[in-house]
Amino acid sequence: MRRKSGDYPQLVNDLVINTLLHLYMECSDTRRFVPLHQRNAIVMRYLKSLLKKAAYKETRKDIKALIYAGQKGDKLEEQLWRLKSLVNNYGNDVEKFYGFLNLIESSLAIYSELFKENTAVVSNRVYLLADVGGQQSL
């Protein structure tokens, strides 16, 4: 499945969530405390396996950066949580609005379209005004 370039934040979010889930599932298999170096080893082993997968092609640089940080002894779990918070805060208002319109369309079957003069208005539609030269046109 080919992803659109706008899906990069979602791909990074999936990477982080899957990596953290893998780490916590591995840690839950033992009753003992899992020290930092062992947690880093679990995360790095999982990330190295993702480098070969085509689905994570767009995030290879991020994966390699995380692996390098783990080799230096950084706290990978903490970095993953920071990366997740950055990705969740990513996006401008237009992207959020577009996502909202897609949600309305998929869940409520209410479609959106540009408002055109001399066109009949249909119920169950969200009409958007075109912005012309900084001024909205009607």
Rg of the Cα atoms in the chain: 22
Residues 35-66: tens digit of each pLDDT: 999 999 999 999 999 999 998 899 999 999 99
Within 13 Å and on the Cβ side, how many CA atoms surround 114? 8
Question: Looking at the predicted structure, is the pLDDT value of residue 122 above 60?
Answer: yes
Measured in whole angstroms, how far is the alpha carbon of residue 51 from the centre of its chain? Answer: 18
At 13-31, the pLDDT tens digits run 899 999 999 999 999 998 8
Residue 132: per-residue pLDDT? 57
pLDDT of 119? 78
